[in-house]
Structure 1
Amino acid sequence: MKMKDTTMLIEALATGRGLPAIEPDLWDNAPLSGVYRSFHPQSYWSNGMFPAGFRLTLTMRFEENFLAYEGVNDTNPEKLYVNKFDATLDDKPAPIAGNARYNEVRIRQLSAREFQVLEQLDGDVIIGQYWCFSEDASTLMRWGVGKAPDGSSKAFFETFGRLAD
Protein backbone atom coordinates (compact mmCIF):
# COMPACT_ATOMS: atom_id res chain seq x y z
CA MET A 1 0.00 0.00 0.00
CA LYS A 2 1.33 3.39 -0.93
CA MET A 3 1.77 6.18 1.65
CA LYS A 4 -1.05 8.14 0.00
CA ASP A 5 -3.38 5.13 0.44
CA THR A 6 -2.37 4.76 4.10
CA THR A 7 -3.10 8.44 4.73
CA MET A 8 -6.53 8.07 3.10
CA LEU A 9 -7.29 5.06 5.30
CA ILE A 10 -6.31 6.88 8.49
CA GLU A 11 -8.36 9.95 7.55
CA ALA A 12 -11.40 7.81 6.71
CA LEU A 13 -11.19 5.96 10.03
CA ALA A 14 -10.61 9.15 12.03
CA THR A 15 -13.63 10.89 10.52
CA GLY A 16 -15.96 7.88 10.58
CA ARG A 17 -16.29 7.75 6.80
CA GLY A 18 -16.18 4.42 5.07
CA LEU A 19 -12.93 3.04 3.75
CA PRO A 20 -12.02 4.44 0.35
CA ALA A 21 -11.96 2.21 -2.69
CA ILE A 22 -8.31 1.34 -3.19
CA GLU A 23 -7.12 -0.96 -5.93
CA PRO A 24 -5.41 -3.76 -3.94
CA ASP A 25 -1.76 -4.46 -4.53
CA LEU A 26 -0.71 -8.07 -4.86
CA TRP A 27 1.97 -9.21 -2.45
CA ASP A 28 4.00 -12.37 -2.09
CA ASN A 29 2.27 -13.76 0.99
CA ALA A 30 3.93 -17.18 0.89
CA PRO A 31 6.31 -16.28 3.78
CA LEU A 32 3.25 -15.75 6.02
CA SER A 33 2.01 -19.32 5.50
CA GLY A 34 2.45 -21.59 8.50
CA VAL A 35 1.09 -22.73 11.82
CA TYR A 36 0.74 -20.19 14.65
CA ARG A 37 -0.20 -20.87 18.29
CA SER A 38 -1.67 -18.44 20.79
CA PHE A 39 0.69 -16.93 23.33
CA HIS A 40 -1.34 -16.35 26.49
CA PRO A 41 0.83 -13.81 28.41
CA GLN A 42 0.57 -11.28 25.57
CA SER A 43 -3.17 -11.63 24.95
CA TYR A 44 -6.27 -10.20 26.63
CA TRP A 45 -9.99 -9.64 26.37
CA SER A 46 -11.47 -6.34 27.57
CA ASN A 47 -14.06 -8.12 29.72
CA GLY A 48 -11.25 -9.64 31.81
CA MET A 49 -12.37 -13.18 31.03
CA PHE A 50 -9.45 -14.39 28.90
CA PRO A 51 -9.50 -18.15 29.63
CA ALA A 52 -6.65 -19.65 31.64
CA GLY A 53 -4.91 -22.17 29.42
CA PHE A 54 -6.35 -20.60 26.25
CA ARG A 55 -4.99 -22.49 23.25
CA LEU A 56 -5.80 -21.60 19.68
CA THR A 57 -3.82 -22.95 16.73
CA LEU A 58 -4.07 -21.23 13.35
CA THR A 59 -3.00 -22.99 10.16
CA MET A 60 -2.76 -20.60 7.22
CA ARG A 61 -1.79 -21.16 3.61
CA PHE A 62 -1.44 -18.01 1.55
CA GLU A 63 -1.32 -17.76 -2.22
CA GLU A 64 -1.70 -14.71 -4.45
CA ASN A 65 -4.96 -13.02 -3.38
CA PHE A 66 -5.99 -16.13 -1.40
CA LEU A 67 -5.98 -17.55 2.14
CA ALA A 68 -6.89 -21.06 3.31
CA TYR A 69 -7.47 -20.75 7.07
CA GLU A 70 -8.18 -23.21 9.86
CA GLY A 71 -8.38 -22.16 13.49
CA VAL A 72 -8.72 -24.86 16.15
CA ASN A 73 -9.45 -23.79 19.71
CA ASP A 74 -8.72 -26.79 21.93
CA THR A 75 -8.72 -24.96 25.26
CA ASN A 76 -11.39 -27.50 26.21
CA PRO A 77 -10.28 -30.69 24.34
CA GLU A 78 -13.73 -32.22 24.80
CA LYS A 79 -15.38 -29.30 23.01
CA LEU A 80 -13.20 -28.27 20.06
CA TYR A 81 -14.13 -25.05 18.28
CA VAL A 82 -13.06 -25.06 14.61
CA ASN A 83 -13.28 -22.13 12.21
CA LYS A 84 -12.30 -22.99 8.64
CA PHE A 85 -12.60 -21.07 5.38
CA ASP A 86 -11.02 -20.20 2.03
CA ALA A 87 -11.15 -16.52 1.05
CA THR A 88 -9.73 -14.02 -1.37
CA LEU A 89 -7.87 -11.00 0.02
CA ASP A 90 -9.81 -8.36 -1.93
CA ASP A 91 -12.66 -7.67 0.54
CA LYS A 92 -15.14 -9.94 -1.24
CA PRO A 93 -17.39 -12.12 0.98
CA ALA A 94 -16.51 -15.82 1.18
CA PRO A 95 -18.66 -18.47 2.88
CA ILE A 96 -17.91 -20.05 6.25
CA ALA A 97 -19.74 -23.35 6.68
CA GLY A 98 -20.83 -24.91 9.95
CA ASN A 99 -20.46 -21.88 12.21
CA ALA A 100 -23.51 -20.61 14.12
CA ARG A 101 -21.97 -17.19 14.94
CA TYR A 102 -21.05 -16.14 11.41
CA ASN A 103 -21.43 -17.50 7.90
CA GLU A 104 -19.07 -15.36 5.81
CA VAL A 105 -15.71 -13.67 5.98
CA ARG A 106 -14.25 -10.66 4.16
CA ILE A 107 -10.50 -10.10 4.13
CA ARG A 108 -8.81 -7.00 2.80
CA GLN A 109 -5.03 -6.94 2.55
CA LEU A 110 -3.81 -3.50 3.63
CA SER A 111 -0.07 -3.96 3.18
CA ALA A 112 2.51 -6.72 2.82
CA ARG A 113 1.84 -7.90 6.41
CA GLU A 114 -1.46 -6.28 7.44
CA PHE A 115 -5.05 -7.43 6.94
CA GLN A 116 -8.56 -6.33 7.84
CA VAL A 117 -10.71 -9.38 8.65
CA LEU A 118 -14.49 -9.19 9.05
CA GLU A 119 -16.48 -12.23 10.15
CA GLN A 120 -20.14 -11.64 9.37
CA LEU A 121 -23.57 -13.16 9.81
CA ASP A 122 -25.64 -12.47 6.70
CA GLY A 123 -23.62 -9.29 6.01
CA ASP A 124 -23.68 -8.00 9.61
CA VAL A 125 -20.18 -7.71 11.11
CA ILE A 126 -19.91 -9.91 14.22
CA ILE A 127 -16.12 -9.71 14.58
CA GLY A 128 -13.96 -6.96 13.10
CA GLN A 129 -10.24 -7.42 13.45
CA TYR A 130 -6.86 -6.22 12.28
CA TRP A 131 -4.05 -8.71 11.73
CA CYS A 132 -0.39 -7.73 11.66
CA PHE A 133 2.48 -10.14 11.04
CA SER A 134 5.99 -9.31 12.25
CA GLU A 135 8.56 -8.59 9.56
CA ASP A 136 10.04 -12.10 9.86
CA ALA A 137 6.55 -13.71 10.10
CA SER A 138 7.42 -15.26 13.47
CA THR A 139 4.55 -13.49 15.23
CA LEU A 140 0.96 -12.66 14.38
CA MET A 141 -0.94 -10.07 16.40
CA ARG A 142 -4.64 -9.58 15.91
CA TRP A 143 -6.94 -7.19 17.65
CA GLY A 144 -10.47 -6.02 17.24
CA VAL A 145 -13.99 -6.16 18.63
CA GLY A 146 -16.35 -9.11 18.61
CA LYS A 147 -19.92 -9.84 19.65
CA ALA A 148 -20.33 -12.97 21.76
CA PRO A 149 -23.26 -15.38 21.28
CA ASP A 150 -24.92 -13.81 24.36
CA GLY A 151 -24.93 -10.42 22.60
CA SER A 152 -22.21 -8.79 24.69
CA SER A 153 -19.22 -7.25 22.93
CA LYS A 154 -15.57 -7.21 23.91
CA ALA A 155 -12.33 -5.92 22.52
CA PHE A 156 -9.48 -8.38 22.19
CA PHE A 157 -5.77 -8.51 21.53
CA GLU A 158 -4.27 -11.90 20.76
CA THR A 159 -0.68 -12.81 20.04
CA PHE A 160 0.44 -15.93 18.17
CA GLY A 161 3.92 -17.38 17.74
CA ARG A 162 4.85 -19.35 14.65
CA LEU A 163 5.60 -23.01 15.24
CA ALA A 164 8.62 -24.63 13.60
CA ASP A 165 7.94 -25.87 10.08
Structure 2
Amino acid sequence: MKKFMLAVLAGLLGSASYASAAPVDGFAGTWVNDNMRSTWSNGQFPKGKMRLKIDVEIHDNHLVYHSINDTAKGKPPMQIAFDAVMDGKSYPVQGTTRYSSVRVRALEGNQLEILEMQGEDVVVGAIWQLQDDGKTLMRWGIGRSPEGKSKAYTEFFSHP
Protein backbone atom coordinates (compact mmCIF):
# COMPACT_ATOMS: atom_id res chain seq x y z
CA MET A 1 0.00 0.00 0.00
CA LYS A 2 2.83 2.39 0.87
CA LYS A 3 4.46 1.73 -2.50
CA PHE A 4 1.15 2.35 -4.29
CA MET A 5 0.61 5.71 -2.58
CA LEU A 6 4.19 6.79 -3.25
CA ALA A 7 3.93 5.72 -6.91
CA VAL A 8 0.72 7.70 -7.41
CA LEU A 9 2.18 10.75 -5.71
CA ALA A 10 5.41 10.43 -7.71
CA GLY A 11 3.37 10.27 -10.90
CA LEU A 12 1.43 13.36 -9.91
CA LEU A 13 4.62 15.22 -9.13
CA GLY A 14 6.62 13.80 -12.02
CA SER A 15 6.01 16.78 -14.28
CA ALA A 16 6.25 19.40 -11.53
CA SER A 17 9.46 21.28 -11.06
CA TYR A 18 10.37 22.51 -7.63
CA ALA A 19 11.12 26.08 -6.67
CA SER A 20 12.34 27.33 -3.36
CA ALA A 21 10.82 30.77 -3.88
CA ALA A 22 7.31 29.85 -5.03
CA PRO A 23 4.69 32.53 -4.32
CA VAL A 24 3.03 30.85 -1.35
CA ASP A 25 1.66 33.94 0.45
CA GLY A 26 -1.71 33.41 -1.26
CA PHE A 27 -2.32 30.34 0.93
CA ALA A 28 -2.47 32.52 4.05
CA GLY A 29 -5.86 33.19 5.58
CA THR A 30 -8.97 31.38 6.74
CA TRP A 31 -10.52 28.75 4.48
CA VAL A 32 -13.82 26.84 4.82
CA ASN A 33 -14.71 23.73 2.86
CA ASP A 34 -17.10 23.83 -0.08
CA ASN A 35 -19.23 20.71 0.38
CA MET A 36 -20.89 20.87 -3.01
CA ARG A 37 -17.65 20.79 -5.05
CA SER A 38 -15.66 18.35 -2.87
CA THR A 39 -15.54 14.61 -3.58
CA TRP A 40 -14.01 11.37 -2.32
CA SER A 41 -13.29 8.46 -4.68
CA ASN A 42 -15.34 6.09 -2.52
CA GLY A 43 -18.43 8.28 -3.03
CA GLN A 44 -18.87 8.85 0.73
CA PHE A 45 -18.04 12.56 1.02
CA PRO A 46 -20.54 13.92 3.59
CA LYS A 47 -22.18 16.50 1.26
CA GLY A 48 -23.79 19.29 3.23
CA LYS A 49 -22.48 17.86 6.51
CA MET A 50 -18.72 18.35 6.56
CA ARG A 51 -17.61 21.40 8.54
CA LEU A 52 -13.90 22.08 8.25
CA LYS A 53 -12.19 25.42 8.81
CA ILE A 54 -8.48 25.90 8.11
CA ASP A 55 -6.32 28.81 9.23
CA VAL A 56 -2.97 29.18 7.44
CA GLU A 57 -0.15 31.61 8.18
CA ILE A 58 2.94 31.95 6.01
CA HIS A 59 6.09 33.60 7.37
CA ASP A 60 9.85 33.06 7.12
CA ASN A 61 9.37 29.98 4.88
CA HIS A 62 7.06 28.42 7.52
CA LEU A 63 3.54 27.18 6.98
CA VAL A 64 1.59 27.46 10.24
CA TYR A 65 -1.61 25.38 10.06
CA HIS A 66 -4.58 25.04 12.38
CA SER A 67 -7.82 23.28 11.49
CA ILE A 68 -11.10 22.68 13.26
CA ASN A 69 -13.32 19.86 12.04
CA ASP A 70 -16.64 19.78 13.86
CA THR A 71 -18.46 17.47 11.42
CA ALA A 72 -19.09 14.67 13.95
CA LYS A 73 -22.13 15.68 15.95
CA GLY A 74 -22.02 14.90 19.65
CA LYS A 75 -18.21 14.74 19.67
CA PRO A 76 -15.68 17.46 20.44
CA PRO A 77 -14.25 19.15 17.34
CA MET A 78 -10.99 17.69 16.03
CA GLN A 79 -8.26 20.31 16.04
CA ILE A 80 -4.98 19.75 14.24
CA ALA A 81 -1.99 22.11 14.29
CA PHE A 82 1.56 22.27 13.02
CA ASP A 83 4.33 24.73 12.22
CA ALA A 84 6.49 23.40 9.38
CA VAL A 85 9.38 24.91 7.50
CA MET A 86 8.67 24.39 3.79
CA ASP A 87 11.83 22.35 3.28
CA GLY A 88 10.46 18.81 2.87
CA LYS A 89 11.66 17.73 6.32
CA SER A 90 9.39 16.26 9.02
CA TYR A 91 7.82 18.49 11.67
CA PRO A 92 5.54 17.37 14.52
CA VAL A 93 1.76 17.60 14.44
CA GLN A 94 -0.54 18.15 17.41
CA GLY A 95 -4.15 16.98 17.76
CA THR A 96 -4.20 13.65 15.95
CA THR A 97 -2.82 10.15 16.37
CA ARG A 98 -3.46 9.29 12.71
CA TYR A 99 -0.17 10.91 11.72
CA SER A 100 2.72 12.19 13.79
CA SER A 101 4.49 14.59 11.45
CA VAL A 102 4.09 16.59 8.29
CA ARG A 103 6.44 17.46 5.43
CA VAL A 104 5.77 20.60 3.40
CA ARG A 105 7.40 21.78 0.17
CA ALA A 106 6.57 24.70 -2.06
CA LEU A 107 6.24 23.67 -5.69
CA GLU A 108 6.54 25.92 -8.69
CA GLY A 109 3.80 28.48 -9.05
CA ASN A 110 0.76 28.19 -6.83
CA GLN A 111 1.18 24.69 -5.37
CA LEU A 112 2.32 23.07 -2.14
CA GLU A 113 3.12 19.41 -1.45
CA ILE A 114 1.85 18.22 1.95
CA LEU A 115 2.80 14.75 3.23
CA GLU A 116 1.22 13.54 6.47
CA MET A 117 3.49 10.90 7.99
CA GLN A 118 3.24 8.19 10.64
CA GLY A 119 6.89 7.46 11.28
CA GLU A 120 8.35 7.02 7.79
CA ASP A 121 5.01 5.93 6.29
CA VAL A 122 3.02 8.37 4.14
CA VAL A 123 -0.58 8.32 5.39
CA VAL A 124 -1.79 11.19 3.20
CA GLY A 125 -0.07 12.71 0.18
CA ALA A 126 -1.62 15.93 -1.12
CA ILE A 127 -1.12 18.81 -3.48
CA TRP A 128 -2.62 22.14 -2.47
CA GLN A 129 -3.28 24.53 -5.34
CA LEU A 130 -4.64 28.06 -5.46
CA GLN A 131 -7.30 28.64 -8.12
CA ASP A 132 -9.55 31.48 -9.23
CA ASP A 133 -6.90 34.16 -8.62
CA GLY A 134 -6.34 32.91 -5.06
CA LYS A 135 -10.03 32.80 -4.09
CA THR A 136 -10.18 28.99 -4.04
CA LEU A 137 -7.91 26.45 -2.37
CA MET A 138 -8.08 22.98 -3.90
CA ARG A 139 -6.55 19.99 -2.10
CA TRP A 140 -6.07 16.85 -4.15
CA GLY A 141 -4.56 13.76 -2.65
CA ILE A 142 -4.68 10.16 -1.58
CA GLY A 143 -5.16 9.11 2.01
CA ARG A 144 -5.24 5.82 3.86
CA SER A 145 -7.79 5.30 6.61
CA PRO A 146 -6.87 3.74 9.96
CA GLU A 147 -8.49 0.55 8.57
CA GLY A 148 -5.96 0.50 5.71
CA LYS A 149 -8.34 1.56 2.91
CA SER A 150 -7.07 4.25 0.54
CA LYS A 151 -9.14 6.84 -1.28
CA ALA A 152 -8.44 9.81 -3.48
CA TYR A 153 -10.04 13.12 -2.64
CA THR A 154 -10.57 16.53 -4.13
CA GLU A 155 -11.60 19.16 -1.61
CA PHE A 156 -12.33 22.80 -2.34
CA PHE A 157 -12.16 25.68 0.14
CA SER A 158 -13.01 29.37 -0.05
CA HIS A 159 -12.57 32.37 2.20
CA PRO A 160 -15.59 32.89 4.50
Specify every segment of 5 or more residues in structure 2 that has no aligned partner in the other structure, as ranges. Answer: 1-8
Could you tell me how far apart the structure 1 residues matched to 2:23 and 2:147 are? Answer: 39
The alignment partner of 1:93 has SS state of: strand
Specify every segment of 5 or more residues in structure 1 that has no aligned partner in the other structure, as ranges. Answer: 1-11
Contact 2:126 2:142 in 1 (8 A): yes
Could you tell me how far apart the structure 1 residues matched to 2:24 and 2:59 are? Answer: 6
How many correspondences in the alignment?
A: 149
**Residue 64 of structure 1, CA deviation:** 3.1
Higher relative contact order, structure no. (Cα contacts within 8 Å, ≥ 6 residues apart) = 2
**Residue 146 of structure 1, CA deviation:** 0.3
**Residue 71 of structure 1, CA deviation:** 1.3
Match of 2:103 among 103, 106, 124: 106
- Which structure's CA Rg is the greater one? 1
Match of 2:82 among 80, 85, 92: 85
Match of 2:114 among 109, 113, 117: 117
**More strand as a share of residues:** 2
Contact 2:24 2:111 in 1 (8 A): no
Contact 2:24 2:106 in 1 (8 A): no
Aligned-pair Cα RMSD in Å: 2.4
Query: Quick one: which amino acid aligns to residue 95 of structure 1?
Result: P
Could you tell which deviates more after superposition, 131-140 or 86-95?
131-140
Match for residue 75 of structure 1?
A: 71
Percent of matched pairs sharing the same residue:
34
Query: Quick one: which amino acid aligns to residue 146 of structure 2?
Result: P
Contact 2:27 2:137 in 1 (8 A): no
Query: Quick one: which amino acid aligns to residue 41 of structure 1?
Result: M
Q: State the TM-score, normalizing by the size of structure 2.
A: 0.83
Q: State the TM-score, normalizing by the size of structure 1.
A: 0.81
Match of 2:159 among 152, 158, 162: 162
Could you tell which deviates more after superposition, 133-142 or 52-61?
133-142
Match for residue 27 of structure 2?
A: 32
Match for residue 94 of structure 1?
A: 91
The alignment partner of 1:132 has SS state of: strand
Could you tell me how far apart the structure 1 residues matched to 2:44 and 2:33 are? Answer: 16
Query: Quick one: which amino acid aligns to residue 29 of structure 1?
Result: V
Match for residue 37 of structure 2?
A: 42
Query: Quick one: which amino acid aligns to residue 100 of structure 1?
Result: T
**Residue 32 of structure 1, CA deviation:** 2.5
Contact 1:137 1:162 in 2 (8 A): no
